[in-house]
Structure 1
Amino acid sequence: MRIATWNVNSVRVRQTHVKDWLARVRPDIVVLQEIKCEAPQFPRAVFAELGYKSEVVGQKAYNGVAALSHRDITIRHRALPGLPADDSQARYIEVETDGITVIGIYLPNGNSGGEAGFQYKIDWMDKLCERAETLLREDRDFLITGDFNVCPTAQDFAPGALSPTDALLRPESIARYRRLIYAGLTDAVRALHPTAPAYTFWDYQAGCWERDRGLRIDFALLSPRLAETLIAAAPDKAERGLTQPSDHVPLVIDLAWGDKAAVAA
């Protein structure tokens, strides 16, 4: 099974890029972030031409997540469990397909809104950790993938690409990321590429792409049985070199899932 994540930075602007990429890579399911539109404006028909069904959690002009799949999927949650009922930020989608729960997230950046904005990020991360721990207690097979807006190690950002006080590097952010790992999740990229930069984001400013001043902020974290089936995990860096690209590239993982004998072993 091939699963991918991509912060597309406006799906309507990037719909041709996404369609061409889907036709080339053919993931079974891809979760998108920062679609920047409400559900009625999402270009479902464009992706349906390739056989993809769309589930959308949208928001006007900001945020927004979606799941595209040519397999049957069941929606489990359209918001992160545990958040206040009046939280209107579209940042979470949870679906199930072929026995796997796929969680797509657009985690708050935390650099805007002062300390209140950063606290929202930390509260959100705490609820994400609680959700992961619940699924682990239930012995479910799942992954959390998307834009995490955190750089947990020095290998995850180019020298000088971030200020030491950036919310992506603050110890509170990194501690919550590590809580997910300590709970038993596996970082798919680091499991296969322990030291490679594997950047997934290059800012549009200051020649970051040309100078390879990137960040690794898009992740796929796998539950224990799922991690045992991991075959490949890597960013599709070529997408960043296209005309009018997103500032993020897709992250693609391949799993030996569906072979029940292999999974059982």
Structure 2
Amino acid sequence: MFSLATWNVNSVRMRLEHLLRWLKLRAPNVVCLQETKATDQEFPYTEINEAGYYVVHAGGKGRNGVAILSDKEPREVTIGFPDVDDQEAKERIIAATIEGVRVLSIYIPNGGSVGSDYFLYKLEFIYRLREYLDSYFDPDQDLLALCGDFNVAPEKIDVYDPELLAGHICFHERERTAIKLLKEWGLVDTYRALHPDEKGAFTWWDYQFGAFKANRGMRLDHIWVSRKLAQKLKKAIIDREPRGWKKPSDHAPVIAYFEL
């Protein structure tokens, strides 16, 4: 069984103990990390290598940073959008081929306030991601996995209160329309494919107001795969356990399992 995970760790150095504990506990074959908040020089390669994982990382000085950890050596590593000189995207997208699967770890921008320039950049980023898939891949021919913090809850079932959150960042109609267009390329939401009607299945909870304990969250972290890879999907889970550890990331890992 091939296990593929994604986790916004909200600082890989601050959460390193959690990450190493979780890798030992779950032993996934591949892990996509987001919001590493580390430059390439600061990333804890040694500790993760000692845990049995190869690492490829695309970092920066700010809050971004993405990585792929794998128990097999990643090949054909690329960073950012091909042929597009966007420095921020180079801290938000990294891709590698592992066991025949093209894995993309992505951190879609949060977008800030609705209507801001950064919100428009978020929409542009999602549309550009769709163009990237159109140009380089085929959903019925390629084994492809798009993993990461999408910063979008796609459907009403993916937030704790759709009426309250309507029009808010990460659940705005324009974001949901953009992410739907991305999905229409030929992507399958692994979690919803196996849990189509499950309510309360969230991956992010605010640190404040007892949100995690009350399960007032949003499903922002996803593993979406090409139709060809979806045929091999066996199981998908949201691993809430690390969110309950001391000083956790505000996101929980998502894991999908495939019979390759």
Same fold (TM over 0.5): yes
Normalised TM-score (structure 1): 0.92
SS at match of 2:25: helix
What CA RMSD, in Å, does the superposition of the two structures yield over aligned residues?
Answer: 1.8
1:101 maps to a residue whose letter is R
How far the C-alpha of 1:164 sits from its partner, in A, is 2.1
Residue 151, structure 1, aligned to residue 153, structure 2: yes
Structure 1 residue 138 displacement after superposition: 8.7
CA shift in 2, pair 1:170/1:82, >3 Å: farther
Shift of 1:248: 0.3
Give the drift of 1:175.
1.3
Counterpart of 2:233 (choices 225, 230, 234) is: 230
1:261 match? none
Paired-residue identity, %: 35
User: Equivalents in 1 of 2:107, 2:38: separation in Å?
Assistant: 14
Shift, 1:86, TM fit: 4.6
Which residue of structure 2 lines up, in the alignment, with residue 187 of structure 1? 189
Question: Which residue of 148, 151, 170 maps to 2:172?
Answer: 170
Q: Which runs of 5+ in 1 are unaligned?
A: 258-265
Cα gap change, 1:87 to 1:243, in 2 (>3 Å): closer
Larger deviation: 242-251 or 136-145? 136-145
Is residue 207 from structure 1 mapped to residue 214 from structure 2 by the alignment?
A: no
Cα distance in 1 for partners of 2:162, 2:89 equals 34
Counterpart contact for 2:205–2:251, Cα < 8 Å: yes
CA distance in 2: counterparts of 1:180 and 1:108, whole angstroms? 15
Structure 2: unaligned runs, 5 residues or longer: none
Provide, for residues 17-57 of structure 1, a one-character-per-residue CA deviation record: whole Å limited to 9, x for no partner.
00010011111110100000101111111111111111110
Q: Does the C-alpha gap of structure 1 residues 113 and 193 become closer, same or farther in structure 2, counting only changes over 3 Å?
A: closer
- Evaluate the alpha carbon distance shift between residue 159 and residue 112 of structure 1 in structure 2; reply closer, same or farther with a 3 A threshold: closer
TM-score, with length taken from structure 2: 0.93
Amino acid at match of 1:39: D
**Given residue 220 of structure 1, which amino acid in structure 2 is its aligned partner?**
I
Alignment partner of 1:216 is 2:186: no
Change (3 A) 1:34 1:153: same
C-alpha distance in 2, partners of 1:59/1:138?
Answer: 34
| CA distance, structure 2, for counterparts of residue 240 and residue 107 of structure 1 | 21
**Distance of 1:161 and 1:60 partners within structure 2:** 37
Q: Quote the offset at 1:225 in angstroms.
A: 1.2
Match of 2:80 in 1: 79
1:260 aligned partner: none
Q: Secondary structure at 1:210's aligned position in 2?
A: helix
Q: Report the Cα distance in structure 1 between the residues aligned to 2:138 and 2:177, rounded to whole angstroms.
A: 19
Q: Structure 2: how far apart are the matches of 1:127 and 1:160? A: 27
CA shift for structure 1 position 89 = 5.5
Counterpart Cα distance in 1 of 2:123 and 2:258? 31
Q: Please state how far the C-alpha of 1:167 moved relative to its aligned partner.
A: 2.5
Residue matched to 2:68: 67
Return 95-104 or 163-172, whichever deviates more: 163-172
Aligned to 1:109: 110
Other structure's SS at 2:47 match: helix
Which residue in the other structure is 1:251 paired with? Answer: 254
Task: State the AA in 1 paired with 2:22.
Answer: W
Aligned length: 257
Partner of 1:34: 35
Please give the alpha-carbon distance, in whole angstroms, between the structure 2 residues aligned to 1:174 and 1:83.
24
Distance 2:63 2:164 in 1: 23
- The 2-side partners of 1:87 and 1:111 are apart by 15
Code of the residue aligned with 1:80 in structure 2: it is F
Is the 1:129–1:176 contact (alpha carbons within 8 Å) kept by the matching residues of 2? no
